[in-house]
Amino acid sequence: MPPREACGVVGVSLQGKGAAPYLFRGLRALQHRGQESAGIATSSHGVMHHQKGMGLVHEIFTQELLDSLRGTTGIGHVRYPTTGATDLENAQPIIVKIRDEDGAIAHNGDIVNFERVRRHLQARGVDLLGNADTEMMAQSIALEFGQTRDIETAIRRACATLVGGYAVVFLVGNRVYGFRDPLGIRPMVFGTVDGGVAVASESVALEMMGGKSIRDVEPGEVLVLEKGQVAHTSKIPNGGETAHCMFEWVYFSRPDSVVDKQPVYDVRYRIGQHLAKESPAEADLVVPVPDSARPQALGFAAGTGIPYAEALIKSRFVERTFILPDQRRREMEVQVKLHPVPGLLKGKRVVLIDDSIVRGTTLREIVQMVRGAGAVRVDVRVGCPPIRAPCYFGIDMKDRRQLVAHNRNESEVASIIGADSVHYLSIPGLVESIGLRAEELCLGCLTGRYPVEVPEERHRFQKSLVEY
């Protein structure tokens, strides 16, 4: 089974400055998108420099390593493997040959017609070494380049055959190509940094590189960065349609990012206000599951008038539980990363606010913890409608059986996680909170209706139809 990722990418083109320190800062800002491995590739006078490693960005990239990454142009990647081996071989960027030139490519997302494209490549004499989307994308572009002799055109032509959600940075020579799937499922922004231009999965990365976000990379847009400027831009026609992933606002992006023009913090606060209207509770305290549910809890407290309290304290740095790759590790980490404030919860009726429930294992531990600290009642309010179907576009929610809301109603979920009640935000409430129209969003994991056909879901992500 091929690896699937929910990752972060960054690419810069500068004049008179080394790209590596910028990429390092950008990747650190995107660390929440993947903690398994990280990599940087830079190009200097046509020579590719490339380093990657397992672990966190600041652990991998020593000053010595950064000094070895020469050149004013480069790309970087943080990776979270959702399936497949968690080894260095799968870390990105990967190096590819574009005719006689070295290229490097990194991406965030998933291709859903993998098998079809693989067969198409094989029929033309291209054998994939591994089975990752990244290599397949690079080979598709290389194949098209053989016909067109122009990378930008080759990218557009390759993308026309790739179905899925993806945001890609591709380094060839002294150019960075940043591009996004035609529906804009996965996010990417463009901005300026001191001495040049950059693209990244989230606006916060541009800001942490000392720059600022100018605009989103449009769905289907191919942005060419060269010599510190935008050299060219073009688009794969998409009929004006979009399908931005709702989960970026709900959980995945940092609250200090702006995704597709909607500030993540504001969306989360509005989610809390909507929840307060839809599912108020009789309680003494509103308590967020830190960190990602804080804005929602503040919105809920403002909407209900119930006092807000930070009654669960998170350890300074422990990885986000959902993106740890192993279930047992996830469960153990809850104990390590959260602890209740003594006395604050004793004898209280608590409304616990969480951003979303995927598997429910983390929340079950937290509810137990809150009860253990003396709460007399725990009502849970969730800032995302029930996740009932898998994601095929880069977020690790692949198996319906792992989803606690699959085939269960709110009271069944409440009894599984040990809460007195559970209420989810409605889909209209979520859409209104995000501030875009439902038709502009991907809501596939909530509704089971996906923005593109997923022809090979049974082959790629499931052993058999029976298990589906």
In the complex, least distance from residue 445 CB atom to ligand SF4, rounded to whole angstroms: 3
- For ligand SF4, the closer of residues 60 and 183 by Cβ is 183
What's the CA gap between 26 and 139, in Å, rounded? Answer: 27
In the complex, least distance from residue 193 CB atom to ligand SF4, rounded to whole angstroms: 28
- For ligand SF4, the closer of residues 355 and 365 by Cβ is 355
Active-site residue, 245 included:
no
In the complex, least distance from residue 167 CB atom to ligand SF4, rounded to whole angstroms: 12
In the complex, least distance from residue 108 CB atom to ligand SF4, rounded to whole angstroms: 11
- For ligand SF4, the closer of residues 208 and 391 by Cβ is 391
What's the CA gap between 442 and 446, in Å, rounded? Answer: 9
In the complex, least distance from residue 351 CB atom to ligand SF4, rounded to whole angstroms: 26
Nearest to 272 by CA among 305, 295, 299, 308: 299
Beta-bridge mates of residue 43:
48, 73
In the complex, least distance from residue 246 CB atom to ligand SF4, rounded to whole angstroms: 5
- For ligand SF4, the closer of residues 205 and 445 by Cβ is 445
Phi, psi of 394 (to 5 degrees): 115, 0
Residue 275, Cα to own-chain centre: how many angstroms?
24
Interface with ligand SF4 (CB under 6 A): 165, 185, 245-247, 391, 393, 395, 442-445
What's the CA gap between 238 and 452, in Å, rounded? Answer: 12
In the complex, least distance from residue 434 CB atom to ligand SF4, rounded to whole angstroms: 11
What's the CA gap between 76 and 72, in Å, rounded? Answer: 13
- For ligand SF4, the closer of residues 114 and 247 by Cβ is 247
Which member of 7, 245, 442, 445 is catalytic? Answer: 7
In the complex, least distance from residue 444 CB atom to ligand SF4, rounded to whole angstroms: 3
- For ligand SF4, the closer of residues 236 and 395 by Cβ is 395
- For ligand SF4, the closer of residues 101 and 399 by Cβ is 399
What's the CA gap between 385 and 429, in Å, rounded? Answer: 9
- For ligand SF4, the closer of residues 245 and 351 by Cβ is 245
Which positions are annotated as active-site residues? Answer: 7
